[in-house]
Amino acid sequence: MNPTVPSSPAAAPTAPPPSLEAVKARQQVMWSAGDYGQIGVRLQLVGETLCEAADVRGGERVLDVAAGNGNASLAAARRFAEVVSTDYVPALLEEGRRRAEADALPMEFVVADAERLPFPDASFDVALSTFGVMFAPDAPRAAQELLRVVKPGGRIALASWTPSGFVGEMLATVGGFVPPPVGVKPPTTWGTEPRLVELFGPSARDLRTARRTYAFRYRSAAHFVEVFRRYYGPTVKAFETLAPDRRDALAQALEQLCARHDVGGGRGLVVPSEYLEAVVVR
């Protein structure tokens, strides 16, 4: 008689890969929550610095991708470039339009998804994105779209929060309370040189990076949390999702994070946050 061969245990079911379209739909709702413009308007300096890094010149055709309320768009328009400002949240583009009108800066506004840019190949001299395209769930597709719409010899200039900087830690802290989508790389990977080489290297003539710091300046740690809880999409939705006791715990964790990074010496909150500035030459 043959010995009984034990049956192999059933393999654990494999979780299906995330639907990137579903992730994007949730993100669009998230960025429509609150009012990112109240955060973004305070980051104008980054748009100016990025345009200098990209050497934006008068008469060049410039695309701002995931522009939010238009920091890089406005900076490029101040340099007499022909600017097209895009985002998939119409309300943010409308804020950018009002800012441009207030400064008498001509530009075009187009509702557009960073992963499906509605422009012909090689139609721009420069593409910009400040803390925007880094949140695209399909990063390789977004990178290919940037490369596609920029002319050979043109530049792609990006500002992306790093994983180890303050905002990287803040997003990780929020993720500890409301886990991010499984299978989607953290957006802060755009703030690392190896990821940019992976995304752009094969199509780049040159890729230059510099680590820079933006300082958040608020009245106090509690004031910072209050503003981000009210206006910044990822934290707005996180607080809405959590039970009341967990909301209090998240607020406390974010205040403690601010306190650890604060260099203000008791005269208002000053929190430096590292970001990676990158210029890719196609």
Give pLDDT tens digits for 75-117: 999 999 999 999 999 999 999 999 999 999 999 999 999 999 9
pLDDT tens track for 44-79? 999 999 999 999 999 999 999 999 999 999 999 999
Q: Using the 8-state DSSP alphabet, how is residue 34 labeled?
A: S
Establish if 236 belongs to a structural domain. Answer: no
For residue 33, pLDDT over 50 is answered with: yes
Q: For residue 261, is it within any domain?
A: no
d(CA 273, CA 253): 17
Q: Please, which pLDDT band fits residue 142 given cuts at 50, 70 and 90?
A: very high
Kindly provide the b/e burial profile for residues 233-264, where b requires at least 16 CB atoms within 10 angstroms of the residue's own CB. bbbbbbbeebeeeebeebbebbbebbeebbeb
Is-above-0.85 flag for pTM? Answer: yes
**Average pLDDT for the chain:** 93
d(CA 107, CA 77): 7
Band (pLDDT 50/70/90 cuts) for residue 147 is: very high
- Angle, nearest 10°, between helix axes 166-177 and 244-261? 160
**Token pair of 197, please?**
């080489």
Q: Is 140 exposed, middle or buried (0-12, 13-18, 19+ CB in 10 A)?
A: exposed
241 lies in some domain: no
What pLDDT does 114 receive? 97
Spatial separation of the C-alpha atoms in residues 171 and 188, rounded to whole Å: 9
52 assigned to some structural domain: yes
Number of domains within the chain: 1
Q: Is residue 125 part of a domain?
A: yes
Q: What is the reported pLDDT for 151? A: 98
Would you state the pLDDT for residue 16?
Answer: 55
200-225: average pLDDT: 97
Cα–Cα distance for residue pair 281/265, rounded to 1 Å? 41
Per the model's pLDDT, the better-predicted residue between 12 and 101 turns out to be 101
Confidence of residue 17 (pLDDT cuts 50, 70, 90): low
In a domain, 170, yes or no: no
Range of the domain at 102: 20-163+181-216+273-281
pLDDT band at residue 183 under the 50/70/90 scheme: confident
pLDDT above 50: residue 18: yes
Q: How confident is the model at residue 30 (pLDDT cuts 50, 70, 90)?
A: confident
Note whether residue 151 is domain-resident. Answer: yes
For residue 202, the domain's CATH number is 3.40.50.150
